[in-house]
């Protein structure tokens, strides 16, 4: 399929028919296309990837996240459908609630708050280990590594096992349209966790996800080993590249808007609202799929029973009908009902963790760097697929501050 271009003569529904999240044009520069669709074709039927309908307006996407009876997750949340059912994401109520009840306690605001000191230690260690702190790729040398270290510790994977898993984690997060590569990476992770579950059954309980799953009460029954493997791998998928993408998008905005970087240094109380605003603006998960369980009409457009429906979180978060100056970052935006983490019962499990990581990283960046800029915009490239995350962000730092880990 050729990449989508925004031709003012071409109708929005014709553009919609060629929508494909894996097309490089749509992944690299989607916002003009999303704007056309919101304004002219808010329910856009695409012929790509087996066919789906894209919802692009905030009000429609939000309503669909709440209406889980009409928009089901049980038939998969990707287009095309992933061959493996991954709970709790690919489930509906009440099954979904039972899975989340087991996992949720590890990701509550109170629990995540207790992680702050050791997450900061990893952040400092990674920044200090950068060979040239004045010229480096923020994504490749820092933000892609941080969430891997953090999520594997929460899961209960020892640091020494990270090299065994890292290649598979990278491959699986980047293999949405490469079935062979994804299958090989999945086999590595499934094999690792199958063995780890056997080992951990014979060991004392720990405060990690593996122990929580082993002790999990799923409606009076223990979880199956396969369900536990699915849940562990889904936690890796959801907790790594999307977090890195959010941080990368935050740094790209600040590199291009040094006045905002200076304002955050002068007014650190703005960091809390700024984090939510960066998440809205970046929207690291651009789309998530559902399946219509009955015939329904949205904005006067029919959606048939059994059709795939793609919820356009990225487009919804730039909807000017919901957000004033939607294409800008407003550091003090409040309230900010963004959908960077989705909505409804399927709202992202790791939302509090991502916010903590971003907060600590931003605090460290403010304490270390006087200013920074993008070294080469031609190297900026976004991941293709339903997630949209920067894969490279080469930065040049203009002077580090006294007291940072990189100064003598």
Which tens digits make up the pLDDT trace of 10-24? 777 788 778 898 888
**pLDDT above 80: residue 399:** no
Is pLDDT larger for residue 21 or for residue 261?
A: 261
Is pLDDT larger for residue 186 or for residue 368?
A: 368
C-alpha atoms less than 13 angstroms from C-alpha of 213 in its C-beta half-sphere: 27
**pLDDT above 50: residue 204:** yes
- The two tokens of residue 7 are 């031709």
Rounded Cα distance, 107 and 193, in Å = 21
Residues 6 or more apart in contact with residue 362 via CB below 8 angstroms: 250, 264, 271, 274, 275
pLDDT of residue 178: 67
Q: Count Cβ atoms below 10 Å from residue 188 Cβ, excluding itself.
A: 16
Q: State the DSSP H helix or E strand holding residue 374, giving kind and residue range, or none if neither.
A: strand 372-374
DSSP state of 357: H
Rounded Cα distance, 272 and 67, in Å = 30
Global pTM reads 0.94
Which tens digits make up the pLDDT trace of 23-68? 888 889 999 999 999 999 999 999 999 999 999 999 999 999 999 9
Q: Count Cβ atoms below 10 Å from residue 72 Cβ, excluding itself.
A: 19
Rounded Cα distance, 260 and 263, in Å = 5
DSSP state of 140: I
pLDDT of residue 78: 92
Backbone angles phi, psi at 149, to 5 degrees: -60, -45
SS (H, E, C) 166-227: HHHHHHHHCCCCCHHHHHHHHHHHHHHHHHHHHHHHCCCCCCCHHHHHHCCCECCECCCHHH
Min mean pLDDT across 86-95, 142-151, 166-175, 194-203 is at 166-175
pLDDT of residue 3: 45
Q: Specify which residues 394 forms β-bridges with.
A: 137
- Helix, strand, or coil (residue 400): strand
Q: Where are the alpha helices (DSSP H) in 257-350?
A: 258-266, 271-282, 313-316
Min mean pLDDT across 4-18, 178-192, 284-298 is at 4-18
Closest CA to 15 of 46, 51, 39: 46
Counting DSSP H helices and E strands in the chain, the numbers are 18, 12
Backbone angles phi, psi at 35, to 5 degrees: -65, -45
Mean pLDDT of the chain, nearest integer: 92
Rounded Cα distance, 98 and 86, in Å = 14
Task: Find out whether 76 and 85 touch, Cβ atoms under 8 Å.
Answer: yes
241 falls in which pLDDT band (50, 70, 90)?
confident
pLDDT of residue 182: 76
How are beta strands 52-55 and 71-72 bridged, if at all? unpaired
User: What domains are there in the chain, each with its CATH number?
Assistant: 12-397 (1.10.630.10)
207 falls in which pLDDT band (50, 70, 90)?
very high
Burial pattern 18-49, b for ≥16 Cβ within 10 A else e, equals: bbbbbbebbbeebeebbbbbbeebbbbbbebb
Q: Count Cβ atoms below 10 Å from residue 267 Cβ, excluding itself.
A: 12
**pLDDT above 70: residue 119:** yes
């Amino acid at each position: 399929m050729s990449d989508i271009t925004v031709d003012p003569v071409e109708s929005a529904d014709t553009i919609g028919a060629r929508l494909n999240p894996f097309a490089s044009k749509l992944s690299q520069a989607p916002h003009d296309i999303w704007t056309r669709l919101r304004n002219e074709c808010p329910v856009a039927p695409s012929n790509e990837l087996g066919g789906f309908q894209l919802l692009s307006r905030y009000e429609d996407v939000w309503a669909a996240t709440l209406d889980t009876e009409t928009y089901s997750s049980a038939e998969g949340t990707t287009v095309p459908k992933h061959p493996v059912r991954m709970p709790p994401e690919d489930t509906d109520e009440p099954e979904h609630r039972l899975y989340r009840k087991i996992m949720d306690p590890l990701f509550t605001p109170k629990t995540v708050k207790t992680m702050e000191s050791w997450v900061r230690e990893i952040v400092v260690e990674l920044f200090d280990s950068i060979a040239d702190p004045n010229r480096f790729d923020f994504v490749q040398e820092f933000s892609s590594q941080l969430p891997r270290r953090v999520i594997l510790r929460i899961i209960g994977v020892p640091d020494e096992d990270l090299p065994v898993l890292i290649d598979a984690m990278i491959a699986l997060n980047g293999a949405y349209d490469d079935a062979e590569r994804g299958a090989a990476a999945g086999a590595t992770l499934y094999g690792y966790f199958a063995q780890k579950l056997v080992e951990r059954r014979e060991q004392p309980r720990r405060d990690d996800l593996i122990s929580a799953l082993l002790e999990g009460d799923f409606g009076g029954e223990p979880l199956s080993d396969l369900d536990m493997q699915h849940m562990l791998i889904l936690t890796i998928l959801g907790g790594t590249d999307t977090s890195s993408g959010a941080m990368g998008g935050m740094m790209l905005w600040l590199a291009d808007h040094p006045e905002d970087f200076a304002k955050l240094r002068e007014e650190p109380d703005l960091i809390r609202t700024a984090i939510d605003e960066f998440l809205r603006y970046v929207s690291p998960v651009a789309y998530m799929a559902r399946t219509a369980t009955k015939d329904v009409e949205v904005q006067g457009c029919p959606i048939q029973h059994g059709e795939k429906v793609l919820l356009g979180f990225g487009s919804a978060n730039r909807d000017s009908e919901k957000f004033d100056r939607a294409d800008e970052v407003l550091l003090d935006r409040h309230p900010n009902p963004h959908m960077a983490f989705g909505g409804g019962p399927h709202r992202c499990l790791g939302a509090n963790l991502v916010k903590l990581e971003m907060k600590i990283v931003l605090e460290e960046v403010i304490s270390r760097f006087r200013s920074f800029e993008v070294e080469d915009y031609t190297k900026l490239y976004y991941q293709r697929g339903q997630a949209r995350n920067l894969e490279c962000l080469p930065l040049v730092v203009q002077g580090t501050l006294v007291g940072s880990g990189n100064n003598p």
